[in-house]
Chains A and B, each alone.
Chain A
Amino acid sequence: MNLAFYLAAAVAVFATTMVVTRLNAVHALLYLVVSLLAVALMFYILGAPFAAALEIIIYAGAIMVLFVFVVMMLNLGEQAVARERGWLTPGIWVGPALLSLVLLAELLYILIPGTQAVVNPEIVEAKRVGVELFGPYLLAVELASMLLLGGLVGAWQLGRRDAAAQRQEAGHDRDAD
């Protein structure tokens, strides 16, 4: 069981590293999907199947797909890759890497020591999660739905073209017909 866990962990870390260092946006997104799938496996091994399912369906399935759609829509092309190559000089990694390492060290120092022994991982299945959601966390659910509504409206508003450009587009489409 644990071997799978550690393998999944290794895949996740490796894939995440690749995400951060790729030049092509689509490549990076695909690596991110792999990373998310590996994390989903880790969830399952930790005894949280519902979380694992949600990770795959929503995170990898919806959010990443949205990302991919937008990247495709932008249609960046070769010069984008070249620009990225120009930007990602080796020297640029020094500062952030240092900062991240310090952050890593501090967090490790805080989080790791002092957890007590516990027996076998108990699986917390979906039913229990649901009961909790509609019980103590009801308000959180409502707030989350409002957040999603806000996100929906905002995304629609920000994403649409203004009236003049829309008429122009409509005119082009008619001409094309």
Chain B
Amino acid sequence: MTATLTDHALLIAVVLLALGVCGVLVRRNLLFILMSLEIMLNAAGLAFVAAGARWAQADGQIMFILILTLAAAEVAIGLALALRIYRHFQTLDADALSGMRG
């Protein structure tokens, strides 16, 4: 039974990941891209916790804590950068920020 629970948890994690990927690729607004990245990180954390629960060890949760830390730091910097970009370019369109072409 638990096996199927773990399986399904992983399935959900994968689905959430796919949705996050879709969001990153489709949305042009920087904030939405960051949100989609959060979705993906969350999905990864779910996968870890599910795996940890399957083996009944704390390692899964610890990995999840580390992912959480990572997500926090990344969001902080990412949003600060988004603010900078908005102040400088007056837009949050990721496609407009293509100065690194060629």
Contact = CB atoms under 8 A, between A and B. Distances in A.
Contacts of B60: 48, 51, 124
Contacts of B64: 48, 51, 54
Interface size class of B (residues with CB under 8 A): 35 or more
A151 interface: yes
A interface secondary structure, majority: helix
The size bracket of the interface on A is: 35 or more
Given A108-B11, A118-B2, A48 B53 contact: yes
Given A13-B15, A42-B12, A115 B79 contact: no
Contacts of B77: 151, 154-155, 158
Contacts of B29: 25, 80, 84, 87
Interface of B: 1-3, 5-12, 14-23, 25-29, 31-32, 34-36, 38-39, 42, 45-46, 49-50, 52-54, 56-62, 64-66, 68-77, 79-84, 86-87, 92-93
